[in-house]
Amino acid sequence: MSIITVDRLSKFYPVAVKEPGLKGTLTHFFRRTYRNIPAVQDVSFSIEPGEFVGFLGPNGAGKTTTLKMLTGLIHPSSGRISVAGHVPYRREAGFLQKITLVMGQKQQLIWDLPTLDSLRINAAVYGIPEAEFRRRLGELSEMLSLDRQLTQPVRKLSLGERMKAELLAALIHQPKVLFLDEPTLGLDVNAQSSVRDFLRKYNQQFQATVLLTSHYMADITALCRRVLMIHQGKLIYDGSLDGLLEQFSPCREVTVELGQDPQPQVLERFGHLKAIEGRVAHFIVPQEALTQFLSRLLAELDIADLTVTDPPVEAVIGRVFQSGGLDNTGDGASA
Ligand SMILES: Nc1ncnc2c1ncn2[C@@H]1O[C@H](COP(=O)(O)OP(=O)(O)OP(=O)(O)O)[C@@H](O)[C@H]1O
- For the beta carbon of residue 8, count every other beta carbon within 10 angstroms: 12
- The residue whose CA is least distant from atom 25 of ligand 1 is 59
Confidence of residue 335 (pLDDT cuts 50, 70, 90): very low
Ligand 1 near 68 CB (within 6 A): no
- The residue whose CA is least distant from atom 29 of ligand 1 is 60
Please state which of the ranges 4-13, 204-213, 254-263, 314-323 shows the lowest mean pLDDT.
Answer: 314-323
Architecture per CATH, domain 4-8+41-246, reads as: 3-Layer(aba) Sandwich (3.40)
Give dist(CA 56, CA 35) in Å, integer.
Answer: 27
DSSP string, 127-150: T--HHHHHHHHHHHHHHTT-SGGG
Contact 164, 144 (CB under 8 A): yes
Q: Residue 30's pLDDT is what?
A: 75
Give dist(CA 145, CA 256) in Å, integer.
Answer: 44
Kindly give the number of the ligand 1 atom that is closest to the alpha carbon of 64. 22
Residue type, 143: M
| 4-8+41-246 against 251-309: fold identical | no
For residue 119, give the nearest of 139, 93, 105 by alpha carbon: 139
For residue 136, give the nearest of 148, 151, 119, 111 by alpha carbon: 119
- Ligand 1 midpoint to CA 59 (Å): 8
Residue type, 217: M
Please state which of the ranges 13-22, 59-68, 71-80, 140-149 shows the lowest mean pLDDT.
Answer: 13-22
Give dist(CA 319, CA 210) in Å, integer.
Answer: 26
Rg (CA), the chain: 25
Confidence of residue 326 (pLDDT cuts 50, 70, 90): low
Please state which of the ranges 153-167, 201-215, 317-331 shows the lowest mean pLDDT.
Answer: 317-331
Angle between helices 159-171 and 130-143 (to 10 degrees): 140
Ligand 1 near 13 CB (within 6 A): yes
Q: Tell me the average pLDDT of the chain.
A: 90
- Ligand 1 midpoint to CA 51 (Å): 26
Ligand 1 near 333 CB (within 6 A): no
Residue type, 54: G
- Ligand 1 midpoint to CA 57 (Å): 11
pLDDT for residue 313 is more than 70: yes
The H or E element containing residue 117 is helix 115-126
Give dist(CA 77, CA 38) in Å, integer.
Answer: 10
Strands 33-47 and 4-17, sheet pairing: antiparallel
Q: Residue 155's pLDDT is what?
A: 94
- Ligand 1 midpoint to CA 46 (Å): 22
Residue type, 328: N
Q: Residue 330's pLDDT is what?
A: 43
Q: Residue 199's pLDDT is what?
A: 96
pLDDT for residue 26 is more than 90: no
Contact 42, 213 (CB under 8 A): no
Contact 274, 282 (CB under 8 A): yes
Ligand 1 near 10 CB (within 6 A): no
Contact 182, 219 (CB under 8 A): no
Contact 309, 217 (CB under 8 A): no
Please state which of the ranges 15-19, 62-66, 158-162, 301-305 shows the lowest mean pLDDT.
Answer: 15-19
pTM of the model: 0.81
Contact 46, 8 (CB under 8 A): no
Contact 293, 271 (CB under 8 A): yes
Give dist(CA 90, CA 10) in Å, integer.
Answer: 17
Three-class SS of residue 250?
A: coil
Give dist(CA 221, CA 244) in Å, integer.
Answer: 12
What confidence tens digit (pLDDT) does each residue in 237-276 have?
Answer: 999 998 888 777 778 889 999 998 888 899 999 988 888 9
pLDDT for residue 15 is more than 90: no
**ipTM over 0.90 threshold:** yes
Q: Residue 245's pLDDT is what?
A: 80
- The residue whose CA is least distant from atom 17 of ligand 1 is 64
Q: Residue 324's pLDDT is what?
A: 62
- Structural domain boundaries in the chain: 4-8+41-246, 251-309
User: Please, which contacts does 272-277 make with residues 24 or more away whose CB atoms are closer than 8 Å?
Assistant: none
- For the beta carbon of residue 283, count every other beta carbon within 10 angstroms: 22
Q: Across-strand partners of 252? A: 285
Confidence of residue 334 (pLDDT cuts 50, 70, 90): very low
Ligand 1 near 65 CB (within 6 A): yes
Q: Residue 323's pLDDT is what?
A: 66
Q: Residue 167's pLDDT is what?
A: 95
What confidence tens digit (pLDDT) does each residue in 75-117 have?
Answer: 999 999 999 999 999 999 999 999 999 998 888 999 999 999 9
- The residue whose CA is least distant from atom 11 of ligand 1 is 39
Q: What is the CATH number of domain 251-309?
A: 3.30.70
What confidence tens digit (pLDDT) does each residue in 177-228 have?
Answer: 999 999 998 888 888 999 999 999 999 999 999 999 998 888 999 999 999 9
Contact 109, 118 (CB under 8 A): yes
